[in-house]
Amino acid sequence: MREYSVPPLVESPLETNTTDLLLEQAAKASNPALFSVRAADDTWQPITATDFLKDVRLLAKGFAASGIQPGDRVGIMARTRYEWTLVDFALWFAGAVSVPIYETSSPSQVAWILGDSGAVAVVVEAARHENVVRQAGVEEDLDAVRNVWQIDGSGLDELRTAGAAVSDAELEARRSKATLEDTATIIYTSGTTGRPKGCELTHGNFVNLSRNAALAVPEVCREGAQTIMFLPLAHVFARFISVLCVTAGATVAHTPDVKNLLPDLQSYKPSFLLVVPRVFEKVYNSSMLKAEDGGKGKIFHAGAKTAIEWSKAQEAGKIPLALKVKHAVFDRLLYGKIRTAMGGRVQYAISGGAPLGDRLGHFFHGIGVMVLEGYGLTETTAPISVSTPKLIKIGTVGAPLPGNAVKIADDGEILTRGVSVMKGYYKRPDLTAEAFDDGWFRTGDIGQLDSDGFLKITGRKKEIIVTASGKNVVPAVLEDSIRADAIISQCVVVGDQRPFISALVTLDEEALPGWLERHKLPAGTTVAEAAETAQLQIEIQALVDSANKTVSQAEAIKVFRVVPTDFTEASGHLTPSLKIKRAQVLRDYSAVVEDIYSGQKV
């Protein structure tokens, strides 16, 4: 199939904007809890729709009193926390346009985003973020930025006080000014190549997409459902889910530090999660290593095999009795413990940001957590397509959401149009024109549509490697297979215009101590020393051999090198959404790459 579209389940009047989603929840007799925050005694305290609305209006009046005009751009630079969304909605009520900034951004990145967007103010989390903004002002002329308010300081209280003289009528005029066609936010792409581009997402993108998505997944995101947000709210994925939860009346808690995620999951007990595949890999691998270190590795591996078989059998429509019995046994021995570690109530997990893979999808489904894999970009307000409890094929990213359409171009590129697609790149009509083909947005990804309209992602167009012999290689197929092992952190396939394919591999430092113990190597062995051991070389070669079975001989990895330093966001090799910056890796490790190919005939 080359094209598949799904008509919208609901369409909104033109005069609607994102603030109406909150007003609808506050008008309900049930007055649902939209958020849950940690109290001083460590319990989770609900914040109802009416309480949230009251505070949103106070802050919005403060923004108005401080000179923020309708259409003004205002930055938000903070970790994932309740106040992030509070400020976001307050800016919308004031008629402003919010501009997210990752809290890990450097002064030069902040300078670019604030300068390019023409922001007139910034809300930051803490003094360290304000210092970065001040440094950014030294690097670039940011005279337009008149105010910097600090969440951890007195900034929000100052805004609440400042707005006392602003009338309800003035606020309502500001709130209702924007229509579906107006810009709600400018989100800058994380920039795996080149400078970030500002994606203009409209109120219509958020309103129509969230309303249709809520109707498409009523089992997941509904009043009474609970999720805990730990992905960065500056990323479009987490941001959209936050708006979706307001739309549906679901409750959102926040974990600013992923180190606290496990205890927070166990105390908050969410019913669904929002994750990226790397989180699933970590859950799987840590469970496996814990079992192996405790002498129960055989039980884990047998249980994992059973979970995958059970999931595949259920998908096929028939589970043999013997498999049902084995599955029930492992549910008591293994699966229940993993579910308990995630809080004990998680039924669904929405996965995005990168391909998850069949193995993990079937494993988690088999232990009782249905993974709904989705696909989208910043330019598409996150989801173009997503699996739903009723429409799911593990290994695909589902069918287009209602109101969206997907088409596969002649070269395999995925094109899309519909309620999710952005207005364009801010102040860049040239780039906007390049990105669209007769109304269809070019995603840059390669994929396939099956006969039922389910989309499968096979690679990234700009990441396709063309070897010296002209063979096209999609690196993700090989990388995902190798990276699935617990000892591996990252894998980058190399070989553009080279005689053969090779790979750079990094180790997972958290998994290394257990690996060393199991292989009877000294506990103090460094990553660099471990990389030289025969045991590790043999183990990685086995992973490479297994990955090579999924591709042709010409696409297979012939040589690999273990790089002693991991690829991280801090090292500059990952984006905040954990995507590899390939160009940066190749620049920084050019000497290693040259060494691989110098004089080698493979």
pLDDT 10s digits, 500-528: 999 999 999 888 988 898 888 998 899 88
Distance, in Å, from the CA atom of 330 to the CA atom of 308, rounded to the nearest integer, reads 12
Quote the pLDDT of residue 469: 79
Q: Where are the beta strands (DSSP E) in 189-245?
A: 198-202, 226-229
Q: Reply yes or no on whether the pLDDT at 267 is more than 50.
A: yes
Quote the pLDDT of residue 357: 78
End-to-end Cα distance, the chain: 39
Distance, in Å, from the CA atom of 410 to the CA atom of 363, rounded to the nearest integer, reads 34
Distance, in Å, from the CA atom of 139 to the CA atom of 149, rounded to the nearest integer, reads 20
> Residue range 538-554: average pLDDT?
92
Quote the pLDDT of residue 602: 45
Quote the pLDDT of residue 283: 86
The model's pLDDT over 87-139, given as tens digits with 9 standing for 90+, comes to 999 999 999 999 999 998 989 999 999 999 999 999 999 999 999 999 998 88
Q: Reply yes or no on whether the pLDDT at 192 is more than 60.
A: no
Nearest Cα to Cα of residue 251 among 232, 268, 233, 264: 268
> Token pair for residue 280?
């699933």
Distinct helix (H) and strand (E) counts, the chain: 22, 27
Quote the pLDDT of residue 599: 63
Distance, in Å, from the CA atom of 272 to the CA atom of 388, rounded to the nearest integer, reads 13
Distance, in Å, from the CA atom of 406 to the CA atom of 418, rounded to the nearest integer, reads 9
Distance, in Å, from the CA atom of 33 to the CA atom of 435, rounded to the nearest integer, reads 40
> Any alpha helices (H) in 94-149, and if so which ranges?
107-117, 127-139
Q: Reply yes or no on whether the pLDDT at 193 is more than 80.
A: no
Alpha carbon 485 to chain centroid, angstroms: 21
More confident residue, 190 or 125: 125
Quote the pLDDT of residue 300: 95
Quote the pTM value: 0.88
Distance, in Å, from the CA atom of 562 to the CA atom of 565, rounded to the nearest integer, reads 9
Query: What pLDDT band is residue 459 in, cutting at 50, 70 and 90?
Result: confident
Distance, in Å, from the CA atom of 210 to the CA atom of 287, rounded to the nearest integer, reads 34
Quote the pLDDT of residue 191: 56
Instruction: Report CA Rg, the chain.
Output: 25
Distance, in Å, from the CA atom of 514 to the CA atom of 448, rounded to the nearest integer, reads 40
- Phi and psi for 416 in degrees, rounded to 5? -145, 155
Q: 389-401 burial, b if ≥16 CB within 10 A, otherwise e?
A: eebbbbbbbbbbb
Report the C-alpha dihedral over residues 155, 156, 162, 165, rounded to 10 degrees: 170
Distance, in Å, from the CA atom of 438 to the CA atom of 429, rounded to the nearest integer, reads 15
- How buried is 486 (Cβ within 10 angstroms: 0-12 exposed, 13-18 middle, 19+ buried)? buried
Name the amino acid, one letter, at 424.
Answer: G
Distance, in Å, from the CA atom of 11 to the CA atom of 333, rounded to the nearest integer, reads 48
Q: What is the DSSP string of 536-578?
A: HHHHHHHHHHHHHTTS-GGGSEEEEEE-SS---TTTTSB-TT-
- Asked if residue 408 lies in contact with residue 415, where contact means CB atoms within 8 angstroms, the answer is yes
3-state SS, residue 459: strand
> Any alpha helices (H) in 380-463, and if so which ranges?
429-435
What CA–CA distances, in Å, run from 231 to 118, 227, 277?
26, 12, 12
The model's pLDDT over 33-81, given as tens digits with 9 standing for 90+, comes to 999 999 988 899 999 999 999 999 999 999 999 999 999 999 999 999 9
Alpha carbon 64 to chain centroid, angstroms: 32
Q: Reply yes or no on whether the pLDDT at 204 is more than 90.
A: yes
- The domains of the chain, with CATH numbers, are 16-31+42-178 (3.40.50.980), 206-416+442-459 (3.40.50.12780), 464-597 (3.30.300.30)
Q: Where are the beta strands (DSSP E) in 220-369?
A: 226-229, 251-254, 272-275, 348-351
More confident residue, 497 or 542: 542
Distance, in Å, from the CA atom of 91 to the CA atom of 57, rounded to the nearest integer, reads 9
3-state SS, residue 335: helix
- How buried is 381 (Cβ within 10 angstroms: 0-12 exposed, 13-18 middle, 19+ buried)? buried
Distance, in Å, from the CA atom of 233 to the CA atom of 239, rounded to the nearest integer, reads 5
Counting every residue, how long is the chain? 602
What CA–CA distances, in Å, run from 138 to 79, 113, 117, 131?
24, 14, 17, 11
Q: Reply yes or no on whether the pLDDT at 548 is more than 70.
A: yes
What CA–CA distances, in Å, run from 127 to 133, 149, 155, 280?
10, 10, 11, 33
Quote the pLDDT of residue 144: 92
> Residue range 162-166: average pLDDT?
96
Name the amino acid, one letter, at 471.
Answer: K
- Give the mean pLDDT of the chain: 93
Neighbours of 264 (CB within 10 A): 22
Quote the pLDDT of residue 107: 94
Q: Reply yes or no on whether the pLDDT at 427 is more than 80.
A: yes
The model's pLDDT over 300-350, given as tens digits with 9 standing for 90+, comes to 999 999 999 999 999 999 999 999 999 999 999 999 999 998 999 999 999
Quote the pLDDT of residue 295: 86
